[in-house]
Structure 1
Amino acid sequence: MDRFKTLKRIQVELSEDPEENGGDGEAAQANGGGGGGGGGEEERAAGDPGLFMGMKVRRRASIHRDCKGDYIGVPSDPYLTKILSKQGDKKVLFADKILKFTGSGKMKKRILVITDFAIYLVDPEADVLKRRIALAAVERLCLSKLSDNFFAIIIPTEYDCLMASTRKTEIVNVLVEVTKSTSDYELEVVFSNRFEYNAAADMVKEVEFEEVDGGIKTRIAKKESN
């Protein structure tokens, strides 16, 4: 079953790089469903209660969107059910299709599942669990102040995750709330139009966002060591 048939298209333009974008830098231009949004469709979330109040530009569709958590029907998916059962996780807080950026800059289709204990990343084409991240290992979330779909999960003891989702706001809120309810600390959320993340054990990348005419320009560049 193609779980990605309803995924909104994210248009990405990578810079010409002989090392397949794993070297000096990449540039991603996200428009429309990819998170660009026209100026008339964006507004400050000053009147919207919650985590994003006054912190970033949001689309009206994002502000008024209903949140239902499981968008792919985990209970009816035998493979996902088997994974969660094996790990002892029963409560699914969020599940949806996302795009994950690899260390080399490529985008991979993934299914993101969040439970009250962990984050799961599953390859939907091979039905393979690619990664399980304990919620306790997550230090902070990084995202821009603009209306794009990108967010990074920072895990100090491992390598970090840069992803894109049309439901980024819901994902961030779910992670903050579950962390608050299951531990004695509140997950930090950093809003900045430029942030770094560890794309691999020995590779740091910088993500920079810029508002341009017709959308948001996102540049992902490898940071060279001093």
Structure 2
Amino acid sequence: MLGEDGMEPFMGMKVRRHSSMYRVYSADYIDVPANPTIVKLLSKQGDKQVLFADNIMKVNRKCKLVRRVLIVTDVAIYMLDSVFFRLKHRIPMQNIDKVSLSELSDNFLAVSVPSEYDFLIASTRKSEIVTVLVEAVKQLTTTLPENELQVKFSNSFEYRIDAEHTREVHFESVEDGGTKTKFVDK
């Protein structure tokens, strides 16, 4: 997951927590091969390699955090129910347009999917998820370099919660060293 210079691709682009500066990535934090339900789902879809798997929090339409399992494979992103591992959403990798994240040390990132709706998730492994997505899209589009995944850093960005509605999320540094997050429906 390191760049050609041996450094993580986001060093210098955003504020990092000290504990995450030199983290070693594991990729599969939920042991996918030990879960027959997930293995069956992925084999049915034709996915060959799990690049990342972990429990995350998804921000739903009502601005509530919902626990999900995020799986990134060589060809798609999966959102699964965290209890029964039922498929909630599958996004082919080529449908992802960009990833937006703040410059601060929060845990949020938005994945933009122009053909559907975007999704906002929270994970302590945000940098690892973005790195895996960038590499996966790069592998799929080796013949079309102009289709590389865009990574946008901004302390304020919009994402589509459905076909008609957009929400804006703002991030602000607070005195105690944390980050304040504010959602505004458009």
Question: Scaled by the length of structure 2, what TM-score is found?
Answer: 0.92
Query: Partner of 1:220 in structure 2?
Result: 183
Q: Matched residues in 1 for 2:84 and 2:11: separation?
A: 39
In structure 1, C-alpha distance between the alignment counterparts of 2:124 and 2:167, rounded to whole Å: 22
| Counterpart in the other structure of 2:173 | 211
Aligned residue number for residue 202 of structure 1: 164
> 1:68 and 1:209 mapped to 2: Cα distance?
28
Distance across 1 between alignment mates of 2:100 and 2:149: 11
Q: Mark the structure with the bigger radius of gyration.
A: 1
Which position in structure 2 is the counterpart of 1:126?
Answer: 84
CA contact (8 A) 2:71 2:77 kept: yes
**TM-score of the pair, normalised by structure 1:** 0.76
Aligned counterpart, 1:77: 35
Counterpart of 2:128 in structure 1 is 170
Rounded to whole Å, the distance in 1 between the matches of 2:110 and 2:161 is 10
RMSD: 1.3
CA deviations on 1:87-135 (whole Å, 9 max, x unpaired) are 0112000000000011111111000000010000000223310000000
**Where in structure 2 are the equivalents of 1:46-65 lying within 5 Å?**
49-65=7-23
| Counterpart code for 1:64 | Y
Alpha-carbon contact 1:58-1:146 (below 8 Å) kept: yes
Give the secondary structure class of the aligned counterpart of 2:7. Answer: coil
Count how many residue pairs are aligned between Structure 1 and Structure 2.
Answer: 177
Q: Helix, strand or coil: the match of 1:100?
A: strand
3-state SS in 1 of match to 2:54: strand
| Aligned counterparts of 2:47 and 2:172: Cα–Cα separation in 1 | 39
- Unmatched tracts of structure 1, length 5 or more: 1-46
